[in-house]
């Protein structure tokens, strides 16, 4: 039986990484083989692309170049990691996927890329694969940015390229995710401005209600 593909999305500091770890532990305890991954950076080559995309000056590459790099990472990620895991029956939980590219490149940036262009890139690089469930962790950008900057302050690798953008960018990003959530029944929006354990319980309840095998 093919596994399930779940993605977590949202702005900076929404808590995706922590929640994916907790979700992985929960599913493993239920006897489900679980693969935790992320974009960019879910593969060795992806780690190199992540360094380019998430560190350094925010304006070092334009929106088109950035989108192409994200989709190069995604193509490798899907072919080398996601599809093999799903085909052997494992559940794949990814910290970001294509909805992040749509939100950032189409809604967040001033030099925006059209939805049609991004959808065409998706068809070329990903094909028919779609997540079974996409959870959007929604949070006030001011709160999320404060969380993210605090986290990065204690990290050896400063992945602050997007945090360096104006608050307006992050507000547009949030609105983009909320607009995207209205386009398909696979989306679910959860208020992420709550304690870690409470948010984890919300996510578990959602998955149990949406996916029969959970």
Q: What domains appear along the chain, each with residue ranges and CATH number?
A: 5-210 (3.40.50.300)
Q: What are phi and psi of 4, to 5 degrees?
A: -105, 145
> Across all residues in the chain, what is the average pLDDT?
92
CA 15-20-24 angle, to 5 degrees, is 155
Query: What's the average model confidence in pLDDT over 41-58?
Result: 91
The pLDDT assigned to 81 comes to 98
Angstrom distance (rounded) from CA 127 to CA 147:
35
The pLDDT assigned to 145 comes to 82
**Given 3-state DSSP classes, what are the helix, strand and coil percentages for the chain, each rounded to the nearest 5?**
55, 15, 35
Q: In Å, how far are 35, 37, 84 from 80, measured between CA atoms?
A: 13, 12, 7
Q: List b or e across 117-130, with b for residues whose CB sees 16 or more CB atoms inside 10 angstroms.
A: ebeebbeebbeeee
Angstrom distance (rounded) from CA 22 to CA 202:
12
pLDDT tens per residue, range 105-119: 999 887 789 999 999
Q: Residue 146 pLDDT more than 90?
A: no
Query: What's the average model confidence in pLDDT over 171-196?
Result: 96
């Amino acid at each position: 039986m093919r596994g399930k593909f779940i993605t977590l999305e949202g702005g900076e500091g929404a808590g995706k990484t922590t929640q994916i770890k907790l979700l992985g532990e929960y599913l493993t305890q239920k006897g489900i083989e679980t693969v935790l991954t992320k974009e960019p950076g879910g593969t060795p080559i992806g780690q190199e692309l992540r360094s380019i995309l998430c560190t350094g000056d925010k304006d070092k590459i334009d929106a088109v170049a950035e989108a192409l790099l994200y989709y190069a990472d995604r193509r490798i990620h899907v072919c080398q990691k996601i599809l093999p895991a799903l085909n052997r029956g494992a559940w794949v939980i990814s910290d970001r996927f294509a909805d992040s590219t749509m939100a950032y490149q189409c809604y967040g940036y001033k030099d925006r890329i059209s939805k049609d262009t991004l959808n065409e890139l998706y068809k070329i690089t990903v094909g028919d694969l779609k997540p079974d469930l996409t959870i959007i962790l929604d949070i006030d950008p001011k709160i999320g940015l404060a969380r993210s900057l605090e986290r990065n302050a204690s990290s050896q690798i400063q992945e602050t390229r997007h945090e360096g953008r104006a608050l307006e960018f992050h507000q547009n990003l949030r609105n983009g995710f909320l607009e995207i959530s209205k386009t398909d029944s696979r989306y679910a929006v959860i208020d992420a401005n709550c304690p870690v354990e409470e948010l984890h319980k919300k996510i578990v309840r959602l998955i149990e209600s949406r996916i029969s095998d959970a």
